[in-house]
Structure formats: C-alpha cells, structure tokens
Amino acid sequence: MMQPGAASPPGPWPAAPAPLRFGAALRGALFCAALAVLAWAGQAVLLHPVRIVDGDEGVVAGRVLRGNVADALRQLGVQLREGDRTEPALGVEVHPGMTIRVQRAFDVIVTVDGQHVETLAVGGTVGELLRERAIRLGPLDEVTPALDQPVTPGTAVRVVRVQEVTRTRREPIPFKTLRWAEPRWEKGKTGILREGREGVVEYTERLRYEDGKLVSTTVVGTRRIQEPVAQIIGVGTRIVWRTLRTPAGVIRYREALPMIATAYYPGPESTGRSADGVTATGMRAGLGVVAVDPRVIPLGTRLYIPGYGLAVAGDVGGAIKGRRIDLGFNTLREALHFGRRPVTVYVLD
C-alpha cells in the first residue's frame, strides 16, 4: 500500500478517451481508399487499346496491359500455331492504338535434290520461301513456279539442279575412193595406186544434266585435226590384143569376160505373142544375135562364145544385167538344149 504523500511510480500513459480512438480508425480507412483509387487510376493508365487482325478469326480489339506483342495475344486469347507469324514480331513492345497482324501458316511442298519436303509458309514469294528454308540455288538451277510468283495454299515448288559441262571427243573422217584410168595397165587389171587414210575431227560438246541425269548433248564447236586422204584405185585401159584358135578359125580378141549365158528363141514360146523378132538395134533376132547389158558390152560389138560361135551384141533384155548374156537360136529345141551355163565371152576387134 502506498503511503500517503509518497510519489507515484512511472507507468503507461493513461487510456485515451473513446472519441480520440474513432478518429484514428477513420483516417486509416480513408488512406486505404485513397491508395485503391490511385492503384485503379494507375492500372487504367497502363491499359493500351490494340487491334488484332487474325487471318482465321477476323479482327479482335481490346485493351491490354503494357507488354509485348506476345503478351497482348495471350491477354486477348489469340493462340498461335506452328509456323504462324505476327507483324510486328512477338517481342515488340505494345503501344496504344497498335494493329497486330497474325499470318496463319499453310502447307506447301518443296521438291529439291530428289526429295519431297512438306513445310509451312505464310505467303510471300517462292524466292522468299527458298531463302527462309536455306535452299541455295546454282546459277543454272530452274525453279517452278518462278521465284517472283506468290506462294499460296497447296503450292508445289520444284527445284531442278542444272549442271552443264563441256567435253571434247574425236571421230574418224572416212576417206573417199577414186578410180583412175591407168594407161600403163592392161584393160581389166585393177589395183591400189594410193592408200587411203582417215581424217580426224574433234567435236566440242556441251552436256546438260538435270538432277544428275544427262538430258541433252549440244555440239558447240568443230575442228578438223587431220584431213582425210582419198584412196585411188587404178583401172587398166591399155588394150592388149591376143589370138585364139577356134573351130571358126583364129580370132583376135582384146578382152575375155566370164559371164552367165542363157538362150532364147525369137518365137512366141520364148519371147511372147507380141514379139515381132526385131531387136533393139533393128536386127532380126536369131542365131548369132545376142542380148547384153550395154554398160558391160556396147551394142554392135563383135563377140565369140565357145560352144555358140561368132555373134554380135544386137539386143538388150530386162533381165540381162551386169555380166549376163542371152544367146539367140533359130529353134526352140536349140535354145532349150543350150539352157543356162557359164561361158567366156571374147570381145573381138
């Protein structure tokens, strides 16, 4: 117990009256409300109006908090798929009134180096698509569609690798064969007076390859390395007269030709009903008048045929070509008896 007159010990402040405590609470509530109003005002300042033009969904407009394009798309519920692209890019900061364009990707097929590749594109040109896919083009490569053509859904792009190389090759040039009348040689003799020699020609060619396959060869240059030398065949023209003893006496001949002889009778049984018995030279057909090929024995030439006798080349025949001779007889029996046989025809003077 405290003694009367003693001093009071120090202690807590006495409790404030009730009106004072109510004023402090009111001031706190007003302060919190002021903070909320300021926060709302600040948030309203941070919201930006933007407009999104979506290739699939149309136009989406709204307000977004400050951030980049990716944030704006997320806040407005616009989802991107693989290959989609935005303009501006996703990392660009949003500003009030910005328009964001969403380019939706679509499938295209690119064929290059023998492979078919399915890829995604958002438009642009064929050239831009190839650059984006790091597909390098050679100076001769061909692209379909053309590089400046637009890429649309379903576009099929083909790159043909083109390579051109140049090569040279050589080929022989055939030589000609000439015939020379050689007066030193007896008629009928032939031989080589000069050997022929092939020439050489060099071709320069351009070879075109597409995707590794040869598709064309074009000659772009020709050069003669060596000229050909003609072969010369000598043909004897000197007439050497000889004699031959025959049943008709000694004959003098200049040439003996091995030939195939047949026989004919100028009557209708052998030459047909329309035949009149007159030969190509106007002579009457019969014994001693023979048909020849004028390129071998000239018409009018006197001949001697063993087993037949003396004759003159006075007619021609459709079947008498080359070293063939048709001997005339006076009767059909004689012609049939002679038949067909090889003979030596002596050409007289």
Per-residue confidence of the chain (349 residues) as pLDDT tens digits? 344 444 444 444 344 444 444 455 555 555 445 444 434 444 445 688 988 888 666 788 888 888 898 988 888 888 888 888 888 989 899 989 899 988 888 899 999 998 998 999 988 899 999 999 999 999 999 999 999 999 998 899 999 999 999 999 999 999 999 999 999 998 889 999 999 999 999 999 999 999 999 999 999 999 999 999 999 999 999 988 899 999 988 999 998 999 999 998 887 766 655 566 788 888 988 999 999 999 999 999 999 999 999 999 999 988 899 999 999 999 999 999 999 999 999 999 7
In CATH, the number for domain 47-103 is 3.10.20.90
pTM of the shown model: 0.52
For residues 85 and 104, give the distance between their C-alpha atoms in angstroms, rounded to a whole number: 7
Classify domain 106-160 by CATH architecture: Roll (3.10)
Could you check whether 47-103 and 241-348 share the same CATH topology? no
Q: Does domain 164-236 have CATH number 2.20.230.10?
A: yes
Q: Could you please state the CATH topology (level 3) that the domain comprising 241-348 is classified under.
A: Barwin-like endoglucanases (2.40.40)
* Residue boundaries of the structural domains of the chain: 47-103, 106-160, 164-236, 241-348
